[in-house]
A and B are shown apart, each in its own frame.
Chain A
């Protein structure tokens, strides 16, 4: 925008990820197999990041892929599973071998660690983990007493991740980020993750004008005040679903799940789908127009126990 003093924050996937150093704390948006920023996740693997401390509230293929690629050293969340497909096998291997350290939460303490920071406080009280081993092994959960009633609470330590990486439907070049109204589902947690991190990178399905943002202001879930970088990554959540934009790619998720059976077969999957592929655009070519349009137009269930 000529003459504008509002900074433009649209950069490439590679440039956005290159700013994330080894050892950084990185919070990831999305939920189980839904709307994770997979284009950014795959780029973290391509750039061979190491020793990341990953944070989330309910995770799946995002954490599992980063663990399987040797990117993650610590994971902090309430859940890592492949939803209806079954257990997250790279997580299993990583934790059982001692390569990956876990910090476990209940679903709401995982959310509260972001919500605290978003509210500008360093902890929030929560009762869910009281009396359980969540308290025993997570030093971010500490018993406290209410000064008003004497009630016992767990203080959930607020976190301020170095980076948050999120995937959304649309943004302008300045970083005003929107989700479609049609997304009635779980769009209530990502905004807290985005408000907690020092730097926020958002990949989006489409770049739109600021006028377009202004014509649908209720869709804006993160205004530019919170956003460091926007990247254009259509089908950037693939093979996860992206709400009403496209469904799960069942065939790709199954291929992933089968490949994760052993470290060797998973290495071959990464080589084929991530490390030998130049960038996100090349990845889209690899999946192919037919494959992408199929996920965008057929019903969005993963066959199986249907937990997701």
Chain B
């Protein structure tokens, strides 16, 4: 069955979500991925939203982080500060983030392209992204793949990956474990436990390593176990298309 780039990104993202985890999630594609995981292999995943909604059981997808239908089925409803305290207290297993630039160590820039004081493009800033990547037990990066995004060095380090490499997060004093993967529209990266560098683990069906190389501005490291990303199953696509996002709001 053919599927769109968004659909394979969604399915690949959902596979990182483990049953029983507490997952800090924004809206858009990561939320669809989390709902898919909950509908398939991770029925007991507890989703949490920055607005303070913890572990809702929605029958249909929410339109926004603050969607009232999340509230009535949640295990706890608090506020923004409370959800950030759950991060600081180490109670969040996985966070999912986007980025404007990312380097081989998974360091993210969402602040400024060019110089910080007089940038060529000023971006919105950290918001909660730094807090999630600093404090969650693990986090995942989900982004489109091109040379402007996958850079040798980020212009401004907003949100920590593995910083300069092995041991750097620990030396800096960061509590969370760091990024465990990067899902793009071309491939899935893991991180080498020895070097803390991004490693291509799988390329999506129809994508070659050369395609990935051409879209990446740093030198590519490839896993010895490189394989093709497992395509979405007919069942997964059916759930996505008919139950989770039937109106195509997100995908």
Contact = CB atoms under 8 A, between A and B. Distances in A.
Contacts of B125: 77-81, 102, 104-105
A95 B119 contact: yes
Interface stretch (B4-12, B38-46, B155-163, B206-214): B155-163
Given A184-B71, A306-B63, A132 B160 contact: yes
A53 to B, nearest CB: 16
A140 to B, nearest CB: 14
B170 to A, nearest CB: 10
B123 interface: yes
Contacts of B141: none
Contact of A307 (B27, B130, B131): B27
A306 B27 contact: yes
Nearest to B112: A95
Contacts of A58: 127-128
A102 B81 CA distance: 23
B157 A132 contact: yes
A132 B159 contact: yes
B174 A127 contact: yes
Interface stretch (A161-169, A185-193, A262-270): A185-193
Contact of A107 (B111, B130, B168, B175): B130
B34 interface: no
A1 to B, nearest CB: 33
Contact of B28 (A129, A184, A302, A306): A306
A92 interface: yes
Interface in B111-163: 111-112, 116-128, 130-131, 134-135, 156-160, 163
Contacts of A77: 125
A152 B124 contact: no
A111 B84 contact: yes
Interface residues of A, number: 46
Given A77-B125, A96-B121, A130 B174 contact: yes
A101 B112 CA distance: 13
Chain A binding site: helix, strand, loop or mixed by DSSP? loop
A137 interface: yes
Contacts of B119: 95-96
Contacts of B175: 127
A131 B168 contact: yes
Nearest to A93: B122
Most A-side CB within 10 Å, residue of B63, B64, B135: B64
A202 to B, nearest CB: 19
A184 B52 contact: yes
Contacts of A36: none
B173 A127 contact: yes
B193 to A, nearest CB: 19
Contacts of A80: 124-125
Nearest to A299: B63
Contacts of A184: 52, 71, 77, 79
Given A137-B116, A186-B52, A106 B80 contact: no
A74 interface: no
A129 to B, nearest CB: 7
A31 B80 contact: yes
A295 B80 CA distance: 24
A145 B238 CA distance: 53
Interface string A100-123: 011011111001000000000000
A105 B126 contact: yes
Interface string A29-70: 001000000000000000000000000001000000000000
A289 interface: no
Given A96-B119, A184-B52, A307-B65, A133 B156 contact: yes
Contacts of B64: 301-302, 306-308
A54 to B, nearest CB: 13
Contacts of A185: 51-52, 66, 79-80
Nearest to B116: A137
Nearest to A115: B81
B19 interface: no
Nearest to B80: A186
B160 A79 contact: no
A151 interface: yes
30 contacts: A79-B125, A80-B125, A81-B124, A91-B122, A96-B119, A96-B120, A96-B121, A96-B122, A101-B117, A106-B126, A106-B130, A107-B130, A128-B88, A130-B160, A130-B172, A130-B174, A132-B159, A134-B130, A152-B172, A152-B173, A184-B52, A184-B79, A185-B51, A188-B81, A189-B79, A301-B63, A306-B27, A306-B64, A307-B27, A308-B66
Closest 7 A-B residue pairs measured CB to CB? Answer: A131-B172, A152-B173, A188-B79, A81-B124, A188-B81, A79-B127, A106-B130
